[in-house]
Chains A and B, each alone.
Chain A
Amino acid sequence: MHIVVCVKQVPDTTQVKIDPATNTLVRAGVESICNPYDLVAVEAAVKMTEKYGGTVSVITMGIPAAEAQLRECLSLGAHQAILISDRALAGADTLATSYTLASAVSKLNESDPVQIVLCGKQAIDGDTAQTGPGIATRLGFTQLTYVSNIVGIDITKQTITVRREIENGSQIVEAKLPVMLTVELELGAPRYASLPNLIKAVKHEIKIWGSKELGCAVDLIGLKGSPTSVKTIFAPPPRKGGPVFDTSDGNDKAVNGFLDTIFQKEAAILSQILNTDGKVKHA
């Protein structure tokens, strides 16, 4: 079985700081990490090959520095890693990205047929959740999003059964391979890398493919292949804070001061939410 996991290098949002003068995020110097949902996908893929045999290939589209994230995936048990990096790919939106990644899966498919493509549910920077379904649609793979459990794979029937989260519940679904799954965090945290795997990951050769190797049409990749373009970027107007009641002035004074204020100023909202006749007794 051949499983391809698509991963993305994202800024570590826990490290993000805000420039108080401009109210914008300070991007410079923020460390890059592998999108947490994608690491869950890598773990799921490795587990499946441990159970059913096969190979896990990890691919990412990004700048040369994204090699670090691929090495992390190798240390978690992936068998090979491919970096798709080319200036012509820069500025891609989700349509151009899914085209490029689907082209890479097709290329991998030539030498070793791909049964499963795994993606994280969404990336924590863009948060679009569009790339996985885009890849599935291009490849004609059946798409199963929000997968929270892999129930099993039937190798002879060539089917996979998963649990996927839907609004107000979940579904158990059986699908014919090949499939594209996007995974939820509940599927299971990635393991700790073993020492031999860490060493292997450092030494492992990472293939680099450009748009030419993938045979991509030039007008479908990067900025050119992106129907959407960012017109402007701006900082949202900051929400201005209101009165602060400090208990260092006494608990009773702070709490009652607060209650008096909201019962006076927010009477309209309170009368809507308080399940009474709307009458309020003043203390």
Chain B
Amino acid sequence: MPKNSKDKDIAEVVSKKCSGCQACVGECPVGCIDIVDGVAKITAEKCIGCGKCVMICPSDAILFDKPVKKKAVKTAEVKESAIAQYQGVAVFIEVKEGVAADVSWELVGKGRELAHKLNTKVMGFLVGHNVKKIASAAISYGCDSVYVMDNPAFEVYVSRVYGTALTELCKQVKPEIFLIGASPLGRDLSSVIATKLQTGLTADCTGLDIDTQEKLLMMTRPTFGGNIMATIYCRNHRPQMSTVRPKVFKMPKSDSTRAGEIVPFNYEAQADPLIKILETIKIDAANAIDITHAEVLVVLGKGASESKHFPMFEELASLLGGSIACSRPLVEAGLLPYVRQVGQTGKTVAPKLYIGIGVSGAVQHMVGINGSEKVIAINNDKNAQMVQVADYSIVGDYAVIIPELIKGLKARVPNFLIQGAK
């Protein structure tokens, strides 16, 4: 075990494991840890060998052989009783133009699992105008109760109006968990509520579970381009808030025979006088490109950026009733619009069939395709990351492979109902 010149046992950082999260920097009582070149570095001469950094490190990146007194995580009793008042799993039911967002039902489905483990109930938090039907649907999808705030002021989403209303609802109903879909609206809204309630919020979770021993929500999310997963706890604040992207959890089955309670929540909603929506420009629904709902995606990467081949890609997509999507370089080059971009800075997709053409498989892209059922790679580099992970790969020149593929598909499926590529 290393010692410093004062003969103190000192801690050591394994830089390979360090994720640079800075937890140890904040925990060190003598300020002997710095982040240098992305990883923690301990100044041996200042270290007093207390071992606090070892306790806090989430990635076991700090070595310290001396036994460290395991301090039980104990919260003050007052706090515990305050936390005990919070019960139940709440789900925000997002309404867009009179229709509930699928992600809300996906979260109700997940909420049921969590509630079962906690032996508690699932509540829908519904905000909007003329949303009676959606309240009943929420019960069919699995809510035990639905709190409804129905008011003309909620017709169109405004951050401050929705944020204030839902904060009030949380204060009254006190859910222990509050889940919100990570749609653009949900991402705009969740941080407003969490800040007002002074509680923790974990964005874009890909896994939610219950630590049954501690009765805490385990929120797992990819960080740093998706190659590290972090499980995050919110111990001493309620509600434990989390957002989840669409398509991460399965859509539950609707059961119209389910029983539940619809609770109108009395709240004087006011329009926001500081903001005026002058115009709303809608993309025509028929032409709207929504790659997140596509069952088949033909995804173009940097290696498939010759626009003369685009008709061929479209033919393949239309044979399979799929859509064209792409990785970031094609958007940056102006070849395809941003709405078709898959990945960390684009959309998360979950098609049944993902066909990546010339997609190298950078981590920023891969994080957006994890939910795909089967991944097919067409790439001229057999060492490409995408080929390493794909369920099936064809290695070679796509300009030769794709016409063969189209021919082969047509030969095998004689009675194609040709749909236009979306």
Q: Which residue numbers of A lie inside 8 Å of B, CB to CB?
A: 11, 13-14, 16, 18-19, 22-30, 32, 63, 87-95, 98, 122, 124-134, 136-138, 142-143, 145-146, 161, 165-176, 186, 222-224, 226-236, 238-248, 251-252, 254-256, 258-259, 261-263, 266, 269, 272-277, 279-283
Q: Given known contacts A25-B225, A227-B199, A255-B405, is B192 in contact with A133 (CB within 8 Å)? A: yes
- Contact partner of A175 among B23, B25, B222, B274, CB < 8 A? B274
Q: Total interface residues on B, using CB and 8 Å?
A: 120
Q: Report yes or no: B414 in contact with A266, Cβ–Cβ below 8 A.
A: no
Assembled-state Cα–Cα distance A227/B281 (Å): 38
Contacts of A243 in B (CB 8 A): 392-393
Contact assessment for A90 and B396 in the assembled complex, using a CB-CB cutoff below 8 Å: no
List which B91-147 residues lie within 8 A (CB) of chain A.
96
In the complex, whether B305 has a CB less than 8 A from a CB of chain A is: no
B308 to chain A minimum Cβ distance, whole angstroms, is 20
Main secondary structure on chain A at its contact with chain B? Answer: mixed
Instruction: Known A28-B37, A95-B194, A133-B192; judge A281-B393 contact (CB<8 A).
Output: no
The distance from the CB of A24 to the nearest CB of chain B, in whole angstroms, is 6
- Report the Cα distance A232→B17, complex, angstroms: 12
Q: Which residues of B contact A13 (CB under 8 A)?
A: 224-225, 363-364
User: Smallest distance from the beta carbon of B275 to chain A beta carbons, Å?
Assistant: 5
Q: How distant is the Cα of A2 from the Cα of B145 in the complex, in angstroms?
A: 48
Q: Is B301 an interface residue (CB 8 A)?
A: no
Given A129-B191, A282-B412: A233 and B295 interface contact (C-beta under 8 Å)? no
The answer to whether B201 touches A255 (Cβ under 8 A) is no
Shortest C-beta distance, B40 to chain A (Å), equals 10
B22 adjacent to chain A (CB < 8 Å): yes
In the complex, which residues of chain B have a beta carbon less than 8 angstroms from the beta carbon of A136?
192
In the bound complex, CA of A272 to CA of B130 (Å): 36
Q: Beta-carbon contacts of B143-177 to A below 8 Å, as 1s and 0s?
A: 00000000000000001100100000000000000
* Residues of chain B contacted by A89 (CB below 8 angstroms): 26
The listed residue (B37, B277, B281, B388) touching A29 by CB distance below 8 A is: B37
The 8 Å CB contact of B363, one of A16, A128, A246, A259, is A16
**Mask of B390-422 contacts with A, CB within 8 angstroms, 1/0:** 111111110011001100110111111111000
Contact A259 B389 (CB under 8 A): no
For the complex, is B39 an interface residue (Cβ under 8 Å from A)? yes
Stretch at the interface among B62-70, B226-234, B254-262, B263-271: B226-234
- Which of B204, B279, B394, B405 meets A171, CB within 8 Å? B279
User: A230-B21, A246-B395 are contacts. A241–B387 as well, Cβ < 8 Å?
Assistant: yes
- If A23-B227, A63-B34 touch, whether A263 touches B234 (CB-CB below 8 Å) is no
State in angstroms the CA–CA spacing of A27 and B17 once bound together: 9
- Contact yes or no, B234 A172, CB < 8 A: no
B85, CB-defined interface residue at 8 Å: no
B293 touches A (CB below 8 Å):
no
Q: Are B191 and A254 within 8 A (Cβ)?
A: no
Do the beta carbons of A223 and B26 come within 8 Å of each other? yes
- Chain B residues near A91 (CB, 8 Å)? 21-27
Q: How far in angstroms is the closest Cβ of chain A from B227? A: 5
The answer to whether B43 has its CB under 8 Å from any CB of chain A is: no
- CB of B415 within 8 A of CB of A276, answer yes
